[in-house]
Amino acid sequence: MKAFDALKILVDVLIAKGYGNSVNNQLSVDGNGDPLPWFSYPAIDYLRGLDLTTKHLFEYGAGCSTLFWASMCKDVVSVENDRAWHAKVSSAAPPNAKVLLREDEASYFDAILEDSARYDVIVVDGGLNRRKMAERSLHRLAPGGFIILDNSDCHVRAAAVLRQADLIQVDMNGFSPINTHETTTSFFFARDFNFKPKGEWQPLKTPWCMKHYVDE
Ligand SMILES: C[S@@+](CC[C@H](N)C(=O)[O-])C[C@H]1O[C@@H](n2cnc3c(N)ncnc32)[C@H](O)[C@@H]1O
């Protein structure tokens, strides 16, 4: 096979993930228009395979992700600092997703500390200082849970804060919806992490594997 033919096949793989649809709509969605977190595709694929139905999630930075989490988790609290974006996301949010608007920086960072709730999953993906979000998140992570830091390749200080808290760092680099560059989404797991897969398979079977291999 020539390099150009191989490249065409790689583009088809991205299109099957809904990449073309996300670019056309400038929204983080899959091929059916369903919302996805704006993370690297490897991170999205990992999350799609987890059973989060009993999990409580907190998110810095609302978006299509908020709708995705609401469909996957028991409940979601998301904090957003941009008024227009907050109005857009909150108008689409189902009853198990609460989208807070906190326009000044201090109350945005401290939104996770407003009550004593603990969260099984905390997402650091907001448009302000992610190191400060990471520091607050450590105070509210439930036992056995994990924190997600998106664009960790840029937010290396936030990554260091989480790593130095004795969480286990796993970096998932790759293409993501909308963007034309690679990005890294990092997971920081508590040492007693024990989430279960959603179905029979972890990892999820890929279309390629379905065609070429059968389990013994
Ligand atoms: C990286 S985005 C958050 C993305 C969100 N967590 C997601 O995965 O969909 C950070 C901030 O960008 C702003 N924003 C502006 N346009 C946006 C868009 N089309 N999608 C997502 N966020 C957008 C919002 O204020 C948001 O909190």
In this structure, the dihedral spanned by the alpha carbons of residues 142, 144, 145 and 149, taken in order and rounded to 10 degrees, is: 120
Task: Please write the tens of the pLDDT for every residue from 130-153.
Answer: 999 999 999 999 999 999 999 999
- The DSSP letter of residue 128 is S
- Closest-CA residue, ligand 1 atom 27, reads 61
- Closest-CA residue, ligand 1 atom 26, reads 61
Task: Please write the tens of the pLDDT for every residue from 86-118.
Answer: 999 999 999 999 999 999 999 999 999 999 999
Task: Please write the tens of the pLDDT for every residue from 10-19.
Answer: 888 888 899 9
Q: Compute the radius of gyration of the chain from its Cα atoms.
A: 18
Angle at 140 between CA 137 and CA 146, to 5 degrees: 70
Q: Say how many Å lie between the CA of residue 128 and the centre of ligand 1.
A: 11
pLDDT given for residue 211 in this prediction: 73
Please name the residues in contact with 131: beta carbons below 8 A apart, sequence gap of 6 or more. Answer: 155, 157, 158, 161
Task: Say which residue the tokens 């109005």 belong to.
Answer: 87
Q: Say how many Å lie between the CA of residue 80 and the centre of ligand 1.
A: 9
Q: Say how many Å lie between the CA of residue 37 and the centre of ligand 1.
A: 10
**What predicted TM-score, i.e. pTM, was given to this entire model?**
0.96
Cβ-based burial of 4 (10 A; exposed 0-12, middle 13-18, buried ≥19): exposed
Q: Say how many Å lie between the CA of residue 79 and the centre of ligand 1.
A: 11
Q: Could you tell which of 77, 85, 101 is best to mutate to test the pocket of ligand 1, judged by most ligand atoms within 8 Å of the CB?
A: 85
CATH architecture assignment, domain 39-212: 3-Layer(aba) Sandwich (3.40)
Contact 125, 148 (CB under 8 A): yes
Q: Who lines ligand 1 at CB under 6 A?
A: 28, 37-38, 61-65, 80, 82, 85, 125-127
| CA-to-CA dists, residue 176 to 26, 151, 191, angstroms | 12, 11, 28
- Closest-CA residue, ligand 1 atom 14, reads 85
Among left, alpha and beta (phi > 0; psi -120 to 50; other), residue 179 is beta
Domain ranges in the chain are 39-212
- Closest-CA residue, ligand 1 atom 16, reads 85
Task: Please write the tens of the pLDDT for every residue from 153-176.
Answer: 999 999 999 999 999 999 999 999
For the chain, give the percent of residues with pLDDT over 70. Answer: 98
